[in-house]
Every structure is written in C-alpha cells, then in structure tokens.
Amino acid sequence: MLLAIDCGNTNTVFAIWDGSKFLCTLRTSTHHARTADAYFTWFSTLVKHYEIDLDITDVIISSTVPRVVFNLRVFADRFFGCRPIVVGKPECALPRQPRVDEGTQVGPDRLVNAAGAYDLYGGNLIVVDFGTATTFDVVADDGAYVGGVISPGVNLSLEALHMAAAALPHIDVTKPQKVIGTNTVDCMQSGVFWGYVGLVNGVCDRIRAEYETPMKIIGTGGLAPLFAQGDLLFDEIREDLTMHGLTVIHAHNKKG
Ligand SMILES: Nc1ncnc2c1ncn2[C@@H]1O[C@H](COP(=O)(O)OP(=O)(O)OP(=O)(O)O)[C@@H](O)[C@H]1O
Ligand SMILES: CC(C)(CO)[C@@H](O)C(=O)NCCC(=O)O
Ligand SMILES: [K+]
C-alpha cells in the first residue's frame, strides 16, 4: 500500500493507493512547523473514519515547500518504517529528465503533473494547474517536462485585491451571470473569473504558436472544473492528476 503525499504552498494532500485505486484522499493546510506526531494524529483519526485496513509499505512525497520534508520523512520512518521517495531528490528517478536551463529547480508538483499527464494522455501537452500559483507545464512528445509558465493563483489574486483595497471584500470565485457587474462583488467575480479565462486562453494560444506541434490541454487543481464553465477549451480535466503522477513515479522507481 502506497501513501502519496502532495504538499503545496497552501494545502497538503495525502492519498492511499492500494495498487489499483485510491482508498481515500485527505487534505490539510500546509504548515512547516507540523511535527511527525501531529501528522500521525491527524492521519490516523481520519483513516479510522474511512475504515481502511492500513498496511502502508511505501511513501512518496512531492513538496513545493522544502521545510516540510524533514517532518514528513520522520513521519514515514517512525510510523511506517519506510524511507520515502522524495520527488526532486537524487534518489528519485523520473521517467524522463526535464529539459530546462541548467541549475533550475523545477517545482516537483510540475514534474509530477508532467509524468501523470504523459501516462494518461501521451505527449505534446499543456497541463494547467490551478493551485497557489496557476502553472502551465509543457510536456514534450517523449514525456519530458520542457518548461512552461507560472502566474499568480486565482485565490492569491483575490486575496491581494482584498488586502490592498480597503473597500474590496474577501470573496470566493464563481462564474458570474454577466460580465458587467452592477455591485462590488459581481464586479470582482467578473474580473477574476473572466480575467483568468482570458489568461489561460491567451497563454495556451501563445504556447501552441511557439511549440508548433498540435497540443492537448489538460486541466487540474480544485478550480479547473469551475473554469471549464468559461469558454476555456480543456481537452480533459483530471482533478487527481498530481496524485496519479505520484503513483506513476513510484512505480517507475520500484521497477528499478
Ligand atoms: N469555488 C471555489 N472558490 C474558491 N476556492 C475553491 C473553489 N472550489 C475549490 N476551491 C479551492 O481550490 C483549492 C483546490 O486545491 P488545489 O490542491 O488544487 O490547490 P491549492 O491547495 O489551493 O494549492 P497548492 O496545491 O499549491 O497548495 C482548495 O483550496 C479549494 O478550497
Ligand atoms: C510554481 C509552484 C509554486 C506551483 O506550485 C511550484 O511548482 C514551485 O515552487 N516551483 C518552483 C519554480 C519552478 O517550477 O520553476
Ligand atoms: K496542487
């Protein structure tokens, strides 16, 4: 049984993979100060709720926050007696080496997305991930991550607007009825929703023009289904893409 951990700048997701399906997916906010014992208290309580017959033999971690990895390693060692595979570390082999500028530390979540998307859809892809940042990962014909685009995430933009402007409230993003808002909240929702539809469409068009080979666009992240209601053209949406990628990289490392 594999425990796959995807640690983002905002949220950390644990998923238990039995070799063919995910038995459960657990989400908590990311805190660098959380100890191994605190992870276990949270984890074991929820696992009891799902009535899973726990037998974790392997742990794989992707973390965009370097500081949390130490405590997650201790967690894996202390409670499951295993040495985790950490994406981006030398001990973790990738199906394909990224082709980027020397010295670039590509976010492990982007490498994992690339591996997961290539496994599901083949090469020549743009993966759009609506996380803390909205990222675009370009996956080449052979499955390698070959670059992309990083823009501010949707919730980050909303938070920045609220923080910087005294009269603007905190809001959640939804698809507004109309483009022209007639109250403050509708105006903000329109700006963020249609602004991001424009951003994603514009960036994907430009990537496609530069790449010169037809590409599929894959959407992931919690907000992907919402943006699929705009005139965005995702060929596929796969909310568990990062988790799937972790199982792919784990299998690649197991086969030696
Ligand atoms: N309608 C919505 N409005 C605002 N937020 C939403 C909505 N639907 C889903 N979300 C948020 O989307 C997020 C989905 O999480 P996801 O794992 O894609 O990225 P994240 O956790 O925000 O970022 P990271 O992985 O970088 O930590 C959750 O925080 C969830 O609260
Ligand atoms: C861009 C984020 C924050 C998205 O989670 C993450 O992938 C990251 O920290 N990346 C490092 C820089 C890079 O990917 O080139
Ligand atoms: K994510």
Q: List the one residue out of 35, 38, 37, 43 whose CA is nearest residue 14.
A: 43
Q: Is 245 in the pocket of ligand 2 (CB under 6 A)?
A: no
Can you tell me whether residue 58 is helix, strand or coil? strand
Q: Ligand 1 centre and the CA of 74: distance in Å? A: 27
237 touches ligand 1 (CB under 6 Å): no
Average pLDDT over residues 182-194: 97
Ligand 2: does its nearest atom lie under 6 Å from the Cβ of 124? no
Distance of CA 44 to the CA centre of its chain: 24
Q: Which DSSP symbol is given to 124? A: S
Shortest-distance ligand to the CA of residue 134 = 2
Q: What average pLDDT does this structure show over 65-78?
A: 98
Give the closest residue (by CA) to ligand 1 atom 19: 131
Report whether pLDDT(235) > 90: yes
Q: Which residue's alpha carbon is at the smallest distance from atom 21 of ligand 1?
A: 11
Asked if domains 2-86 and 108-245 share a fold, the reply is: yes
Q: Which of 58, 109, 119, 137 is catalytic?
A: 109
Q: Is 58 annotated as catalytic?
A: no
Token pair, residue 122, equals 């083949």
- Torsion sign, CA atoms 140, 195, 232, 22: positive
Tell whether the model's pLDDT for residue 232 goes beyond 80.
Answer: no
Q: List pLDDT tens digits, range 82-114.
A: 999 999 999 999 999 999 999 999 999 999 999
d(CA 37, CA 32): 13
Q: Hey, which CATH number is domain 108-245, 1.10.3720.10, 3.30.420.40, 3.40.50.2030, 3.40.50.20?
A: 3.30.420.40
**Is 107 assigned to a binding site?**
yes
> DSSP 3-state assignment of 51?
coil
> Domain-by-domain residue ranges, the chain?
2-86, 108-245
ipTM: 0.92
Containing H/E element for 199? helix 184-211
CATH code at 2-86: 3.30.420.40
